[in-house]
């Protein structure tokens, strides 16, 4: 993972810092078919992260920071 983060940081250095861009989220008023213990999937572009119970929150936060700062 260190090399992945370093690679993203190297690419970030090639591009000037840009203004933060926010994504809109549409909330659907449909009932969720979610059962306790089911993993949650986060999709971002071509990436997907599956989050299960007892996930290391610090690690998840670090991964989300890397994804958020890659652009």
pLDDT tens column, 1-57: 556 566 666 655 555 566 788 888 887 777 667 677 788 888 887 888 888 888 898
- The Cα 51–Cα 10 span in angstroms is 28
Measured in residues, the chain has a length of 71
pLDDT value at position 32?
Answer: 64
- To the question of pTM greater than 0.85 for the whole model, the response is no
**Mean pLDDT, residues 55-63:** 89
The ranges assigned to domains in the chain are: 38-71
Q: Which residues contact 61 (CB under 8 A, 6 or more apart)?
A: none
């Amino acid at each position: 993972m260190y090399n992945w983060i370093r690679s993203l940081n190297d690419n970030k250095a090639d591009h000037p810092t840009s203004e933060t861009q926010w994504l809109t989220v549409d909330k659907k008023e449909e009932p969720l078919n979610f059962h306790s213990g089911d993993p949650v999937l986060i999709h971002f572009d071509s990436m997907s992260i599956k989050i299960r119970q007892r996930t290391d929150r610090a690690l998840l936060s670090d991964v989300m920071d890397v994804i958020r700062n890659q652009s």
